[in-house]
Amino acid sequence: MDAPAPRVSLRTWLSLTRLPLVFTVLGNLLVAHAVWPVPAQTLLLCAVCGCLAYLGGMVLNDVADAGRDARLHPERPIPSGRITRSGAGRFGGLLIGTALLAGLALGWPRMLLAGGLVACVLLYNFAFKGFRLPGALMMAACRGLVVLMALGGLELWRGEVPWWPAAAVFGYTLLLTLLSTFEEGEGRAGPVGLVFSLLLLLGLGGLAVWQADALASVVWGLLGLSFAAEAWRQRNAPRPKGVGLMVRHLLFAFVGFDAGLALACGGQWQALAILALLVPIFVSRWWMRRG
């Protein structure tokens, strides 16, 4: 049984959720809005559902990974003793439960996709994350379902709305999550960074050729080159540290990827709104690091 926990600060609770990264979920939803005009009330409910599912999933990730984090990330709230594992589990469950309620409020047929999102979050954390490819596919499904949830009116099911932006978000997340599975292990981060730099550049290049949008291609090109530069910087770093920094780079670069998708869909103002998310991302990151 967990020992009684000391009073936990708001910053400590939020550190469990990886708060700055939740704004990338809003970027995914703005991509959906660039594809198809989603009603404001629907978009708001999708944001509540998607963001709470993401926050809750991050908390439950730490609950499931408590043993691993004790070795690799002893500074995190659970292994450091700042929050008990059971307390974090209750917090994560509350967030996931509220996300499900918001999803149900979306009504038919979006509620099916919202339920699938919550199910994938739980399956990833407690069934599949120990397996490299199945776990990565489940995490990618979570991000893809966020986009589909916003697009998931009857128009989607009738084939009137393009699916490819959701598939692109799925693919980016798959690559990112597969990279994170190489964080454990001996040796340098260089070979891992080289392989994933090539995969990312090939994927972004193929997307740019297929969509043939000049501005989106520039954004994706800068994203790919920035990751290659980060991988080069980390080439001699030990694998846990170097790969961890590469993963963090791709997570924050999700903003640029989504902005490119919005531009390719003709959503100039949505692309600007996605790029504006960098402000709350870095402000919240600065606030979290103050503690």
Whether pLDDT at 186 is above 90: no
How far, in Å, CA of 160 to CA of 268, rounded? 21
Q: What's the full length of the chain, in residues?
A: 291
Give the number of other Cβ atoms within 10 Å of residue 21's Cβ.
18
CB-based contact 220:207 (threshold 8 Å): yes
pLDDT class for 6, splitting at 50, 70, 90?
low
What is the pLDDT at residue 1? 45
Taking only the tens place, the pLDDT of each residue in 43-56 is 999 999 999 999 99
User: What pLDDT is attached to residue 9?
Assistant: 85
Higher pLDDT, 143 or 161: 143
Mean pLDDT of the region 145-168? 88
81 torsion bin: left (phi>0), alpha (psi -120 to 50), beta (else):
left
Instruction: Work out the angle at residue 206's Cα, subtended by the Cα atoms of residues 202 and 209, and round it to the nearest 5 degrees.
Output: 140
User: b/e per residue, 100-111, with b = 16+ CB within 10 A?
Assistant: bebbeebeeebb
Q: Note the pLDDT tens digit of each residue in 85-137.
A: 999 999 999 999 999 999 999 998 899 999 999 999 999 999 998 899 999 99
Task: Between 56 and 240, name the one with better pLDDT.
Answer: 56
State what percent of residues in the chain have pLDDT above 70: 97
pLDDT of residue 2 exceeding 60: no
The tens digit of pLDDT for each residue in 274-284 reads: 999 999 999 99
